[in-house]
Amino acid sequence: MKSKILDTIGISAAVLCLIHCIIFPLLLIVPLGISHNPYIDLVFLLIGTVVVFRLTKKIKSTWLKLLFWISIVLISVSVLIDLLFEIHVPLIYAGAAGLITGHIINFKNHKH
């Protein structure tokens, strides 16, 4: 049951992250005085890392664990490059999509 809750939190955070990453650049085009804050990406990364860490301790599928951790690494690299060099790298989209996919697969594999 706890794994199901972690998947729900993970899916929610990853979807919000993906929405943030897709819609925010569009908002920058409109002159609203909004600027990008990479610390929001860092918060999503921290939430995702905690959820993936706790979740991967419980699942047995090696390829699913690998999908989760590769996705976290992609997001980490993107956020780190953004924080250090102020360059937005699209690896974050692949990482968020990987997390969403992994959580959905893991959620469907639960015995209900």
Q: Render pLDDT for 3-39 as a digit per residue (tens, 0 to 9).
A: 678 878 877 877 777 777 777 666 656 666 666 678 8
DSSP 90: T
Cα dist from 52 to 27, 82, 106, whole Å = 30, 22, 11
- Residue 63's contacts (CB-CB under 8 Å, 6 or more residues apart) are none
Q: Confidence class of residue 103 from pLDDT cuts 50, 70 and 90?
A: confident
Residue 64 amino acid letter: L
Which tokens hold the place of 91? 């690896």
pLDDT tens, 30-71?
A: 666 666 678 888 888 998 899 899 889 988 899 999 999 999
